[in-house]
Chain A
Amino acid sequence: MKLFIVSTFVVLVLLSFAAWRTRPRPADPSKIQLVWSTDDNPFRREQLDPFNRLYPRYHLDIDPNNPEVEKVIVQSAAGVGPDVFDCWSGFALTAFVKADIAWDITDELKKMHIDVEKETWPAVQPTCVYDGRVYGFPENAAANGLWFHKDLLREAGVEIPRGPWTWEQAVPLLKKLVKKDATGRTIRYGLVLDWDNNYRQFILQWGGHMYTPDGTRCTLDSPQCIAAIEFMQSLVQEGIVPDMAAEKSLATSGGYGGTSVITLFADKRSATAIGGRWWLCSMRDPQFRDLQLGAAEAPYGVEHVFAGYGKSTLINKYSPHRYEALAFLAYLHGREYNELINHEADGVGPVMKYADEPAFLHDPDYPKEDYNQIWRSIQKAAVPEEVSPFMNGAVLQRLMVGQLDLIRGGDRTAAEGMREATRQVNRRIAENLRFDPKLREEYEGRRSRNID
């Protein structure tokens, strides 16, 4: 036993020596080292390569982040955050700003002649513009259209209009696409959609809103919002969309953010799907080579709008290289990066004008993709997410998903669920005000302005 312990120790010391000897040489000391905290994947790597080539003074590397934000928060709370990091939602931005992590670069960008508000897609701006101040630059923008399988549509003799069309027109067509087996079990659905991330689009299209315009109260219980959710439910009742149990059991290995719906659609379990252009990042994979994909505008309800989203890069306020990190934002603003995003189909490049070039419509590498003008027009009609300074967007999402689960499970009607969600959100707003006098002041200010 003693011999074993001692020899283990010797082996470990030898291994340590080996580990120490094989460490890579420190990066080129003449270059300024920058760290970008983002999800580490082949696309992201492809996106940083041109930066290192175009800006030889710098060396940018990725520090992998997990889908949640706690890594950046833990690191920044201890004062050692990354130089630049991703921001996925308007609420995350307010959190980063209030936590004093995000650097206000309004004046810096002005000096660089970059105008975020005029040049980039409005849909993504909540992730980098807060209260009139700019804290970063968008990485991409997205909005959801309707993906379909051309061959399945042909088979069913269904023609989908490319331009604006309504759900009223869509429902009979989608119904025709449903396929059942002899026992009456559905083997192919007409449409799949990720409820948790798409209820917002339906609410907008039915004329509803999350909050009152001043953000002081949640309005998810308005007749418009309830009607929107009731409509989503009717799609399930008509057998067009799988119910919750069917959807979750069809796609079991999906990742986060509703990506399981991609797998469902790409596997032809459904003829159409509501999703973004970035789905191509998965669907261009060789294993899906045989798919005949088409895209159309998603149908609309009462109003012709789409829910936009996207993400931005922010700079860490306490990074010693924060001025150097501006070069990365300049890169995101430039032609190489935007053309690369458009080419990779990682959403749409952040700067609007590059989507207007002919290269965007017809990418010679992907001749089959004949639907890029659709993505452009949807992106133009996309509206930014609603943000309230009084409410944590992540909490709203959690409360809302909780109610959606009950509504979809048949435990609650849409009206009951939405009223409950609203009650919970408004109670949360009141709680948030209780501990924050400054917030309360702003809240009262907004309320009284409205009454006048």
Chain B
Amino acid sequence: MTRTRHSSDLLPALGFLLPNFLGFLLFTAGPVVFSFGASFTNWDLQHSVPFAFIGADNFRQLFGSEEFWVYLINTVYLMIGLPFAIAGSLALALMLSQKLRGMTVYRTLFYLPTFTYGVALMVLWKKLYSPEFGPINVSLGAITRALHLPFEPPKWLQSADNLMGMVPQHVAFHRQYVGLGAREALINMSVWVALGGNNMLLYLAALTNVPQELYEAAEIDGANKWKQFWHVTWPQLAPTTFFIIVISTIFGLQGGFEIARIMTEGGPAGTTTTLAYYIYIKAFQEFQMGYASAIAWVLFAMIFAITLMNWRFGSRAVNE
């Protein structure tokens, strides 16, 4: 038990932190604090109203607007692919960490979507999802015809339908809207991009740090592959999994911006508008910087709460 004896490393810690901390303070923390202040003002890039602190007015208006809740639900709904993406990238990483020939090539190919220019990705997916000629619907149509199913192929990106029957532009449900639509199309697409992307790379990196001796010891104990995974690999990957979950939650809740801007313009009927895109619209189309900051900080509060929960839960898993 060496843990009891240590003294504080405050001074060297300061030294190590300093280069990053200075830049962080200036370029990150400063603007963030500024935006926090802005969320309590009527800062508007357009109106001739004098700049003033208006207390929690922005927040009150925000919570009272149906738009906000609709977009919040959109944002959360679009994240339902995350667990699949994370599990899938772990599976891929496990496969790719085997000592087989040609692994370098596979790893590079899997990572290709991350290199590919965003516009190319989106044009291709639009083609894949095309209701009439797209390969997805053509094959779906062939299957349903062969099985004589009374099922019309979905219109994907042009449809406001969804699996939960959410009514566009309202916080409500209706049977009419049950189906596959733009949001499911985007969920598929994001899982696909994420599979071979950064998470896979992180898992690959983490797998190389698992000491080989642990596997050898487990093998001597007669553990099969499955047991080895749960008793050796999985605990060793815990800090990485924790990182991936936290970061995916953070970026997921802030996500959907690029796709909305380039691919769907937030439509049809606002069904692919996420909070991040909404903030952008408020700030740069409607010029209400104060209001946009308020949304951003509500989003922050939610992410922070989720991360704290992750943290408590995760630290236990990581440290013990």
**Is A–B contact present in the complex under a CB 8 A cutoff?**
yes
The residues of A with any CB-CB pair to B shorter than 8 Å are 68-70, 73, 77, 94-95, 98-99, 185, 244-246, 248-249, 252-253, 392, 394-395, 398, 401-403, 405-406, 409, 411, 420, 431, 435-439
A70 to B282, alpha carbons, bound, how many Å?
A: 11
Closest 7 CB pairs of A and B: A249-B130, A405-B268, A70-B284, A252-B126, A245-B131, A405-B269, A245-B158
Of A68, A406, A435, which is within 8 A of B42 by CB? A435
A437 to B54, alpha carbons, bound, how many Å?
A: 14
A28 to B62, alpha carbons, bound, how many Å?
A: 52
List of A residues within 8 angstroms of B127 by Cβ: 249, 252
Quote the shortest CB–CB distance from A411 to chain B (angstroms).
Answer: 6
Interface SS of chain B: loop
Query: At the interface with chain A, which of B2-10, B29-37, B43-51, B245-253?
Result: B43-51
Quote the shortest CB–CB distance from B31 to chain A (angstroms).
Answer: 12
**Interface range on chain B (Cβ under 8 Å from partner):** 35 or more
The reply to whether B158 and A395 contact each other, CB–CB distance below 8 Å, is no
The reply to whether A395 and B126 contact each other, CB–CB distance below 8 Å, is no
With A245-B131, A248-B126 as given contacts, are A394 and B269 in contact (CB-CB < 8 Å)? no
The reply to whether B158 and A248 contact each other, CB–CB distance below 8 Å, is yes
The reply to whether B126 and A249 contact each other, CB–CB distance below 8 Å, is yes
Question: Taking CB as reference atom, which chain A residue is nearest B49?
Answer: A436
With A69-B284, A70-B284, A392-B285 as given contacts, are A245 and B47 in contact (CB-CB < 8 Å)? no
With A77-B45, A406-B269, A438-B48 as given contacts, are A249 and B134 in contact (CB-CB < 8 Å)? yes
With A245-B158, A392-B286, A405-B160 as given contacts, are A436 and B48 in contact (CB-CB < 8 Å)? yes
The reply to whether A73 and B45 contact each other, CB–CB distance below 8 Å, is yes
Give me 25 A-to-B residue pairs in the complex whose CB atoms sit less than 8 angstroms apart, sorted by A's number: A68-B285, A69-B284, A73-B284, A95-B46, A244-B158, A245-B131, A245-B132, A245-B158, A248-B130, A249-B127, A249-B130, A253-B123, A394-B285, A398-B285, A402-B169, A402-B268, A402-B269, A403-B269, A406-B160, A409-B159, A409-B268, A411-B176, A420-B169, A435-B42, A436-B49
Q: Contact flags (1/0) for B219-258 with A, using CB distance below 8 Å?
A: 0000000000000000000000000000000000000000
Which chain B residues in 117-140 approach chain A with CB under 8 Å? 123, 126-127, 129-134
B107 within 8 A of A: no
A95 to B283, alpha carbons, bound, how many Å?
A: 13
Quote the shortest CB–CB distance from B261 to chain A (angstroms).
Answer: 9
The reply to whether B47 and A436 contact each other, CB–CB distance below 8 Å, is yes
B215 within 8 A of A: no
The reply to whether B134 and A95 contact each other, CB–CB distance below 8 Å, is no
A438 to B48, alpha carbons, bound, how many Å?
A: 8
List of A residues within 8 angstroms of B48 by Cβ: 98, 436, 438-439
With A392-B285, A394-B286 as given contacts, are A249 and B47 in contact (CB-CB < 8 Å)? no
The residues of B with any CB-CB pair to A shorter than 8 Å are 42, 44-49, 54, 61, 123, 126-127, 129-134, 155, 157-160, 168-169, 176-177, 265-270, 281, 283-287
Number of cross-chain contacts by CB at 8 Å: 102
Quote the shortest CB–CB distance from B140 to chain A (angstroms).
Answer: 14
A249 to B127, alpha carbons, bound, how many Å?
A: 7
Question: Taking CB as reference atom, which chain A residue is nearest B282?
Answer: A395
List of B residues within 8 angstroms of A405 by Cβ: 160, 267-269
List of A residues within 8 angstroms of B44 by Cβ: 435
With A99-B287, A394-B286, A435-B47 as given contacts, are A406 and B168 in contact (CB-CB < 8 Å)? yes
The reply to whether B158 and A409 contact each other, CB–CB distance below 8 Å, is yes
List of B residues within 8 angstroms of A69 by Cβ: 284
The reply to whether A252 and B130 contact each other, CB–CB distance below 8 Å, is yes
Quote the shortest CB–CB distance from B110 to chain A (angstroms).
Answer: 25
List of A residues within 8 angstroms of B160 by Cβ: 405-406, 409, 411
The reply to whether B123 and A249 contact each other, CB–CB distance below 8 Å, is no
A403-B269, A411-B168 are known; give 8 further A-B pairs, CB within 8 A: A246-B131, A248-B158, A249-B132, A249-B158, A394-B286, A401-B267, A436-B47, A438-B48
Quote the shortest CB–CB distance from A314 to chain B (angstroms).
Answer: 15
A94 to B47, alpha carbons, bound, how many Å?
A: 10
The reply to whether B287 and A439 contact each other, CB–CB distance below 8 Å, is no
Question: Taking CB as reference atom, which chain A residue is nearest B169?
Answer: A402
The reply to whether A395 and B157 contact each other, CB–CB distance below 8 Å, is no
A73 to B46, alpha carbons, bound, how many Å?
A: 10
Quote the shortest CB–CB distance from B54 to chain A (angstroms).
Answer: 8
A46 to B268, alpha carbons, bound, how many Å?
A: 38
Question: Taking CB as reference atom, which chain A residue is nearest B45?
Answer: A99
List of A residues within 8 angstroms of B123 by Cβ: 252-253
List of A residues within 8 angstroms of B134 by Cβ: 249
With A249-B130, A253-B123, A409-B159 as given contacts, are A98 and B269 in contact (CB-CB < 8 Å)? no
List of A residues within 8 angstroms of B126 by Cβ: 248-249, 252-253
Of A70, A77, A249, A402, which is within 8 A of B133 by CB? A249
List of A residues within 8 angstroms of B283 by Cβ: 70
A99 to B158, alpha carbons, bound, how many Å?
A: 36
Quote the shortest CB–CB distance from B44 to chain A (angstroms).
Answer: 8
Question: Taking CB as reference atom, which chain A residue is nearest B159?
Answer: A409
Among B54, B123, B265, B267: residue with most chain A CB under 10 A: B267
A185 to B131, alpha carbons, bound, how many Å?
A: 13
Quote the shortest CB–CB distance from A9 to chain B (angstroms).
Answer: 14
Question: Taking CB as reference atom, which chain B residue is nearest A96?
Answer: B46
Question: Taking CB as reference atom, which chain B residue is nearest A394?
Answer: B285
Among B123, B133, B176, B286: residue with most chain A CB under 10 A: B286
List of A residues within 8 angstroms of B284 by Cβ: 68-70, 73
With A73-B287, A249-B126, A252-B127 as given contacts, are A435 and B158 in contact (CB-CB < 8 Å)? no
